Amino acid sequence: TRAQMPGARITGFDQDPAVRARATELGFCDDISDSAGAAVIDADLVMLCVPVGAMASTAADIGADLPADAVISDVGSSKASVIAALTEVLPEARIIPAHPVAGTEHSGPDAGFATLFQDRWCILTPPETAVKADIEKVRAFWEKLGANIEIMDAKHHDLVLAVTSHLPHLIAYTIVGTASDLEDVTRSEVIKYSAGGFRDFTRIAASDPTMWRDVFMSNKDAVLEMLQRFSEDLTALQRAIRWDKGDELFDLFTKTRAIRRRIIEEGQDDAAPDFGRHHE
Ligand SMILES: NC(=O)c1ccc[n+]([C@@H]2O[C@H](COP(=O)([O-])OP(=O)(O)OC[C@H]3O[C@@H](n4cnc5c(N)ncnc54)[C@H](O)[C@@H]3O)[C@@H](O)[C@H]2O)c1
Ligand SMILES: O=C(O)C(=O)C[C@]1(C(=O)O)C=C[C@@H](O)C=C1
């Protein structure tokens, strides 16, 4: 934020003193406050960057000090439950939720980098009552960081992200969990012979446990809906293997390869995993 918005005055707060100290060392903010309330006292724009399950308590912590004309936004990975929580705790606030669809399996102050949001989507899910000027304020913030903006209904966001982000994480957590449940001798072989495919899953499965617990708890309905469809498709694949229907597998794999090619062509290939790998 500092590089792209040199004129902005940035005040930060985190409940963890070690995070505050590291953010100070890295020069992220002009000031780091020692309470959430003090951090927002004369803010134009407040960004809540905590696990989605902590949005309500964080909003409560700033409620008394939030200026009436401040816009309050967040970066949570699910949106309907965050809107509900923020609206309940801060009924008078000008709430414009956002989700920058960019990140890595790393978290904490050292995981950030200046180009993280460059050419990535940032989805805004303003409530129906939102004022246009407030939406534009949040849009301008993310555009300065290089993001492309999409405006979406929160429920729709949650359904789309359930399949593009949340389910892939659940699958990665499962497969790495299954491998680690195998008996000891096999487990050491899993690590020793870990080939590309499994390795890619372990990157995703190394993501922050608190963040992802909260994502699944908060986006329960959409995730369960997508999981149901996924289980049916998996069962169909199981049948194809059992009954030697190689052509069915071939047809599906041909379709999925085309999807990957489209993602690359449209420039949505992920810079983030490379960032992760450099740091392995
Ligand atoms: N990491 C990603 O890839 C990614 C991408 C897009 C959005 N998000 C969302 O951004 C938010 C922050 O994720 P992050 O990756 O920056 O995590 P992070 O761990 O780097 O930062 C979260 C901070 O919240 C603080 N925190 C944790 N529990 C808290 C609580 N109960 N009350 C108050 N503060 C608490 C922690 O001290 C931590 O410093 C989450 O809502 C996540 O869903 C993450
Ligand atoms: O690439 C990764 O490591 C990510 O998990 C990033 C990712 C994603 O699923 O694409 C994770 C959660 C977010 O809310 C946004 C981005």
Compute the distance between CA of residue 12 and CA of residue 26 in angstroms, rounded to an integer.
12
Please give the angle made by the CA atoms of 124, 210 and 1, to the nearest 5 degrees: 45
Q: Is the dihedral of CA 197, 202, 208, 211 positive or negative?
A: positive
Q: What per-residue confidence (pLDDT) applies to 272?
A: 42
Query: What is the best residue among 101, 171, 207 to mutate for testing ligand 2's pocket, by most ligand atoms within 8 Å of CB?
Result: 101
Residue 129 token pair: 């009552």
Please give the angle made by the CA atoms of 213, 95 and 207, to the nearest 5 degrees: 20
97 lines ligand 1 (CB under 6 A): no
Report the pLDDT averaged over residues 126-141.
97
Q: Which option is the CATH number for 157-278: 3.40.50.1950, 3.40.50.1000, 3.40.50.300, 1.10.3660.10?
A: 1.10.3660.10
Q: Report the relative pairing of strands 121-124 and 71-74 from DSSP bridges.
A: unpaired
Give percent of the chain with pLDDT exceeding 70: 94
274 pLDDT more than 50: no
78 lines ligand 1 (CB under 6 A): no
The pTM assigned to this predicted structure is 0.93
279 pLDDT more than 60: no
Kindly report which listed range (27-36, 66-75, 193-202, 234-243) carries the lowest average pLDDT score: 193-202
The CATH superfamily holding the domain 11-152 is NAD(P)-binding Rossmann-like Domain (3.40.50.720)
Could you report the per-residue pLDDT of 26-44, keeping only the tens digit for each?
999 999 999 999 999 999 9
* In the chain, ranges of CATH 1.10.3660.10 domains: 157-278
Model confidence at 273, pLDDT cuts 50, 70, 90, reads very low
81 lines ligand 2 (CB under 6 A): no
Report the pLDDT averaged over residues 235-264.
95
Q: For ligand 2, atom 6, which residue shows the shortest CA distance?
A: 103
Q: Report the relative pairing of strands 98-100 and 121-124 from DSSP bridges.
A: antiparallel
Tell me, in angstroms, the distance from the centre of ligand 1 to residue 118's CA. 20
Q: Are 12 and 40 in contact (CB under 8 A)?
A: no
Query: What is the best residue among 119, 165, 212, 277 to mutate for testing ligand 2's pocket, by most ligand atoms within 8 Å of CB?
Result: 165
Q: What per-residue confidence (pLDDT) applies to 269?
A: 56
Element (H, E) at 129: none
Q: How distant, in Å, are the alpha carbons of 5, 188, 238 from that of 9?
A: 9, 51, 56
Helices (H), 162-245: 167-181, 184-192, 196-204, 209-218, 220-242
184 pLDDT more than 80: no
* In the chain, ranges of CATH 3.40.50.720 domains: 11-152
171 pLDDT more than 50: yes
Tell me, in angstroms, the distance from the centre of ligand 1 to residue 144's CA. 22
Mean pLDDT, the chain, rounded, equals 92
